[in-house]
Structures are given as structure tokens and as C-alpha cells.
Amino acid sequence: MKRLKDFKVNERIPRPAVKVFPMQFGDDEATRRIVLHYARCVILHHKKKYRSWLINESGFFLFGF
């Protein structure tokens, strides 16, 4: 199995710098929609792992999904 130190970098691809813009979140509908969208993305991405955490010894879910 190769390790990271076994790979040699001959050419580096230059990448443009990405600007990050700060966002002000408030207590409004737009903020709620943004937060819910990304929360759903994270949950769907890690759903199998989360489900294994939620199952107790008897095989029942502790919380409904």
C-alpha cells in the first residue's frame, strides 16, 4: 500500500485564489432556508453513520427519521 510520502509531485497546477465573502445571518426566512439546505446535505451525506449512532442495543431507533 502506497503512503503519501511515496508520491512525488513533479508539477503543481496553479489554482486561482477564491475570494470568500462574509454573510450576515439573521432571524429571517432566507437564513432559515440556507441553513436547512446545508444541514440536509450533511445529513444525507452521512446518513448511514448517523443511523448507526441512533440504534440502541435492541435494534430500535432512539429518534425517528
Tell whether the model's pLDDT for residue 55 goes beyond 50: yes
Residues composing the chain: 65
pLDDT, one tens digit per residue, over 13-54 is 888 888 888 888 889 999 999 999 999 998 888 887 777 777
The C-alpha R_g of the chain, in whole angstroms, comes to 21
Q: d(Cα 27, Cα 35) in Å, to the nearest integer?
A: 11
Is the pTM of the predicted complex or chain greater than 0.75? Answer: no
CB 65 within 8 A of CB 51: yes
Determine whether 50 is exposed, middle or buried from the number of CB atoms within 10 Å of its CB (0-12, 13-18, 19+).
Answer: middle
